[in-house]
Amino acid sequence: MNFSQYNQFRDQFAGMSPEMKAQMMNMAKEQMKARALAFCKRWFALPALAVVAAVVGTVVGALTAFFGDVLLRVGELREANPLYFIPLLAAAGAGIVFAYKKWGKGSDRGMGLVFSVAHKKEDHIPLRLIPFVAVCTWVTHLFGGSAGREGVAMQIGAAFGHNVSKKLPFENASHIMLVAGMAAGFAGLFQTPMAATAFALEVLIVGHLELAALLPAAVAAFTACKISQMLGLEKFSVDLDELLASNDAVVSLFEIDGSLDVNFALKLAILGVVFGIVGGAFTKVLSFSKNFFAKKMSNPIKRILIMGASLSVVFLVLFQGRYSGLGTNLIDICFGSVGASGIHSYDWMLKFALTILTLSAGFVGGEVTPLFAIGATLGMASASLLGLPLPLAAALGYASVFGSASNTLFAPILIGVEVFGFQSLPLFAIVCTVAYVCNGGGSIYNQRKIRLK
């Protein structure tokens, strides 16, 4: 406003009635308040969300530590007494389905519900999902089902973060806190906060990173990781350097003179192709299997009874539960002193098939830990064909099969280095990238795809 405009406005204002002047002043005050509120929301939203994310990380870290500890104890109990528990798998499954139908009220959709809310197709995740998914996963594992745990942790985090966000006045707070909760759940369970942050940011939409949620997700992930550590949940980690110390094979991309070892890089690329195809096949076969059995046996209780009874027989016949549970027993063999002598060439195929059948039947759990086991055992089976060190191929499979099945890139690279050491970053980057390219574009999750115009 220039000087002449100011004088004109002053004259007009002086000629107004007292009522008009009061109304003008009130309007000006309201505009100033609105602008101040918008300024505060813009500049203080992110720090405020980061503080809330720390609270979410604390609670979710404690919940996942408790969930993970009970799950490990349940697995140990089943492994010690397989003949007592595995024959009751069908009855346990029927109990799961009945409980969800009677009291679950929509929480039975699990990760599907989380993704629907994240994609704004729905707007509510009930808090009852948390106890339901935790208890039903414990039951699945106690009685021998082959399933994972990460989906449970992310559902716990997403449900808690989403419900906390309802009281926040910031734009897009619901979506940001849902992503932060997912990161907290993953990090609290696996204690890989960088991978958890990357996974939560990239898993919802193909080819897109939810960078608006970067700071809250990172805060929640690192907080949850620390809390679960303090509460005694142990992290799975392997000193890959120590395992490779006695191996004369080349495990560096670069020769002594600094030039690229093309032969070694080519072997890594071939591994990536294999891991990508297997991870992609897992997603497609899982989707087909779920739809097939849902059509053939539309009654969920009948389906889980028939398939559960069949699975219990198979689990007992195949080494009394070797392929039940998470698959951590297979992972431990891959990186233990037994090594190759304890792994069969068909282990990955049986774990692959039995995990898909368990989830198709309607049992509760995730896919990621079984995918770690599938990848590690597949790596062991592939290593000798390419002349690669067994622990190295197992480590690369551990990360990249998970990445190809979840259709993520940065998360598997980071989980590889957080579990096996940062010195192997270039190796994980190559194999996980090739696996991502070769996975066929599918995912175990209901990802949204961006359409390019």
Quote the pLDDT of residue 453.
42
Q: Which position has the higher pLDDT, 193 or 260?
A: 193
pLDDT (tens digit per residue) in 2-46: 555 555 555 565 666 676 766 766 776 667 666 655 555 565 788
* Averaged pLDDT for residues 171-186: 93
Predicted structure pTM score: 0.89
Quote the pLDDT of residue 110.
83
Quote the pLDDT of residue 13.
56
* Averaged pLDDT for residues 45-74: 95
Torsion of CA 82, 88, 89, 92, to 10 degrees: -130
- Which tokens hold the place of 107? 């929480």
Quote the pLDDT of residue 450.
57
Per the listing, tokens 């503080």 go with 51
* Averaged pLDDT for residues 297-315: 96
* Averaged pLDDT for residues 227-254: 81
CATH architecture of 240-449: Orthogonal Bundle (1.10)
Quote the pLDDT of residue 54.
97
Strand partners, 240: none
CATH superfamily of 41-230: Clc chloride channel (1.10.3080.10)
Ramachandran angles phi, psi of 425, nearest 5°? -55, -50
Rounded CA gap, 182 and 126, in Å? 15
Domain assignments of the chain as residue spans, ordered by start: 41-230, 240-449
Under the banding of pLDDT at 50, 70 and 90, the label for residue 452 is very low
Quote the pLDDT of residue 27.
73
* Averaged pLDDT for residues 63-76: 96
Burial class of residue 122, CB neighbours in 10 A (0-12, 13-18, 19+): middle
Is the Cβ–Cβ distance between 387 and 249 less than 8 Å? yes
Q: How many other C-beta atoms can be found within 10 angstroms of the C-beta atom of residue 80? A: 9
Residue 151 has pLDDT above 50, yes or no: yes
* Averaged pLDDT for residues 79-103: 94
pLDDT (tens digit per residue) in 414-433: 999 999 999 899 999 999 99
Rounded CA gap, 31 and 42, in Å? 16
Q: Comparing 41-230 with 240-449, is the CATH topology the same? A: yes
Quote the pLDDT of residue 258.
65
Rounded CA gap, 222 and 276, in Å? 29
Quote the pLDDT of residue 62.
97
**Among 51-55, 105-109, 125-129, 322-326, where is mean pLDDT lowest?**
105-109
Quote the pLDDT of residue 176.
93
Sign of the alpha-carbon dihedral angle for 244, 248, 254, 256 = positive
Residue 307 has pLDDT above 80, yes or no: yes
Residue 334 has pLDDT above 90, yes or no: yes
Quote the pLDDT of residue 335.
92
